Chain A
Amino acid sequence: MASVTLQSIGKSFGGTPVLSDISLDVADGEFLTLVGASGCGKSTLIRIIAGLEPQSTGSVLIDGVPVDHLRPHERQVAMVFQSYALYPHMKVFANIALPLVMSRLRMVERLPLLRLLSPRRRRVMAGIADEVHAVAKQLQIERLLDRRPSQLSGGQRQRVALGRAMVRQPAAFLMDEPLSNLDAKLRVHMRSELAELHARIGTTFIYVTHDQVEAMTMSDRVAMMDNGVILQLGSPGDLYARPANVRVAQFIGTPAINLLPAKASAQGFVELFGHELPVRAGRSPGTALTVGIRPETLVPRPAGALRPGTHALIGRIRRSENLGAGRILYVDLASPAGGSVTVATGNESDAAPLDTGDLALLFAPTACHVFDADGQRVDDADTIAAATGGARARALT
């Protein structure tokens, strides 16, 4: 168990920068997820922590001690690979036992034939066998110890890979998209199993994924990466509720957030489709802004029945998807600029009449995320202001 600290890590491959100035503190026992689209540098970062890739600049510290000069196995970290990287010629037992065999047996004791000469080897191997069995029991793969990886299902291989990582009792687990090779159902199952495993053994987990659901469901904190930098670091709730950047807002949450073009009005408020919202723009008048509204915060109602003080987008349903528990509506906006938004709604019985005619999509101004032209969040300190702005109903079309 240990903390992991990254101090301004940078990495470039032959002149192409892939990571720039990444600093990060992972507390002892924390579950931290690096999330981002492919090519954002998250896998490179975890490989740098593992020691499989040297960083160009900066320093990696484990438990406060720099480990930059140490080889992967000396860093006391265990890694679970996306492909699992099980040794295909070894049985499950040997796969799990390998890290212990490597660290506890001397070179001579591992060589074929010569190893038979060592009396110590037997004793050590018996100890290793006990530990392998204990780990296998925890993961419920005891019955598989005698099989080869090719005889296992995806989920079983995943467990073996976990077992191989656990058996060393590492300072930290590094996981590089460990669930992405599983089918959807198994992925959901392994997700909760991994979270439970983390709760049980309490070791530091650093987890890489491109799946925001995995990031949201398992982590204590999430670091959202893009283009080699961390856009935002915070709790899953933070990233969802207060995305620091438009790219974070786009990445976190399904269906994806609706982004609408807006600008700062002469009065300093956010102007959406020509109407002022009671939200401070925080930027000089005329500046282009982007308003983000999450699909699940839009409430569809038949148009024309707006109460005073409410805000709504007007549009017409182009397509709707029934998910059973809820529905996703794709609504073409009636604004002259066009555009469309996605709405996630419950599956109430009154949903059917919405399908025809104009629709008002109610939203609370406080649920709007405002971003400037660079994609940076326009701080809430500016925007929370005067939520009482509009006394009469505003139908934004």
Chain B
Amino acid sequence: MTSAAALPYVASPPKRDRQRTIERIAGVGFAFPAFLLLLLTNVVPLLVLLYLSFTDFKLGALDMHFLGLDNFRKALADPVFRRSLANTFVYVAIVLPGSVGLGLLIAVLLHRRKRTRSFYEVIYFLPVTSTLIAMATVWQFILHPRLGPVNGVLRALGFDAIPFLSEPAYVLPTLAAIGIWQLVGFNMVLFLAGLSAIPRDLYEAAEVDGCRSGIDRFLTITWPLLGPTTMFVIVTTSITAFKVFDTVAVMTRGGPMGSSEVLLYAIYLEGYQYFHMGYAAALTLIFLAFVLLFSIAQTFVLERRVHY
């Protein structure tokens, strides 16, 4: 009867199986509401979008036809779309380094301040809280060739007035500058949070070890340890910049001569001005593909390098 001792152990698996089934059902039950929400708000709209992008659906039309990949083919050949894509990239290329670099600089300068810190924080953060549509009107006035104070100052200094928003060569950099103005505060707050997470001990150790100047400290401690923060800021900034729309819609409407046409504005025109919903859906998918690329870049390429 030596095997008797092993009996309870042999008998237990069925019981454990039942336990596991119950746990599984409970798990699915808990996850279900979230899954349903995700399905209704993300997955289904995406699938509808995908379907629409294969059709010639027009807003208000009673019937539509399946076109296959025609919309995508058309998009790649469409000079308007290609121009808006290129413009968007130029915009991102200015806004990304501008707002990340400035945000970091301001955060580093503010971090050590004690009394005035919150004052400056509020000032730099104000543009983030303001509605860009409303602020765009203000910017339009500020940059107005005849009435605006910027050109007023330029004229007073003896320069020619600059047609910021009506000269094709200037319009994208001008919009980018406004984009930077709006994003700097947000990036600054993120960097400030990252900075306060760096232990003070490290700066003191660095000081004892011979980091003399602020540049030494920045290169030895601050910059490497801000790696994860910087990564996050870069990704969020590039996605935000890629979605530029309000300033273009309010201030330039893609002009002059399409020089400020950007991706989201092109989609808006196709969908809600020309009612080419199918085509707009295809463009939206292309737009999403780029956003996805930025996110993937974060997860795979850069995150591996900044974590320690």
Q: How far is the CB of A74 from chain B (nearest CB, A)?
A: 9
A52 nearest CB neighbor, chain B only: B204
* B156 beta carbon closer than 8 Å to chain A: no
Smallest Cβ-Cβ distance to B308: which chain A residue: A89
Nearest residue (CB) in A for B198 is A88
Bound together, the chains give a CA A148 to CA B202 distance in angstroms of: 15
Q: B188 within 8 Å of A by Cβ?
A: no
Q: Which residues of chain B are near A50, meaning CB under 8 Å? A: 208
**B207–A72 touching, CB < 8 Å:** yes
Across the interface, A88 reaches (CB within 8 A) one of B204, B207, B308, namely B308
Evaluate whether A110 and B209 lie within 8 angstroms (CB atoms) in the complex, with A81-B201, A85-B199 already known: no
User: Is B207 a contact of A102 with CB atoms below 8 Å?
Assistant: no
Q: Determine the interface band of chain A, counting residues with CB < 8 A from chain B.
A: 20 to 34
Residues of A within 8 A of B220 (CB): 87, 98
Identify B202's interface contact among A51, A87, A111, A164, CB under 8 A: A87
Nearest-CB distance from B37 to chain A (Å)?
37
Q: Classify chain B: how many residues form its interface, as a range.
A: 20 to 34
Once the chains bind, are A78 and B208 in contact (CB under 8 Å)?
yes
Tell whether B68 is near chain A: CB-to-CB under 8 Å: no
Q: Is B33 an interface residue (CB 8 A)?
A: no
Q: Are B209 and A83 in contact (CB under 8 A)?
A: no
A164 touches B209 (CB 8 A): yes
Query: B39 to nearest A CB, angstroms?
Result: 39
Of B145-153, B157-165, B211-219, B293-301, the one contacting chain A is B211-219
Q: Are A102 and B208 in contact (CB under 8 A)?
A: no
Quick one: given A87-B221, A88-B308, A107-B215, are A102 and B210 in contact (CB under 8 Å)?
yes
| Pair A81/B204 contact, Cβ less than 8 Å | yes
Contact A110 B219 (CB under 8 A): yes
Contacts of B191-236 to chain A: CB distance below 8 A: 199, 201-202, 204-213, 215-216, 219-221, 224-225, 227
A167 nearest CB across to chain B (Å): 10
Asked if A261 CB lies within 8 Å of chain B CBs, one says no
Task: From known contacts A87-B220, A89-B224, A107-B215, infer whether A99 and B201 are also in contact, taking CB-CB under 8 Å.
Answer: no
Q: Could you tell me the distance between the alpha carbons of A89 and B220 in the complex, rounded to whole angstroms?
A: 9
With A85-B199, A89-B227 already in contact, the answer to whether A102 and B211 are too (CB < 8 A) is yes
| Per-position binary interface string of chain A over residues 51-94, scored 1 when its CB falls under 8 Å from any chain B CB and 0 otherwise | 11000000000000000000111000111010101111110000
A98, B219: Cβ atoms closer than 8 Å? no
Smallest Cβ distance from A14 to chain B, in angstroms? 12
**With a CB–CB cut-off of 8 A, which chain A residues contact B206?**
87, 98
Q: Which of B208, B209, B211 contacts A52 (CB 8 A)?
A: B208
A81 engages B210 (CB within 8 Å): no
The CB with the most chain B CB atoms within 10 A, among A71, A72, A90, is that of A72
Given A98-B220, A102-B216, A150-B308: A85 touches B202 (CB 8 Å cut-off): yes
B201 touches A85 (CB 8 A): yes
Q: Quick check: is A103 within 8 A (CB to CB) of the other chain?
A: yes
Residue of B nearest to A73 (CB): B210
Residues of A within 8 A of B215 (CB): 107
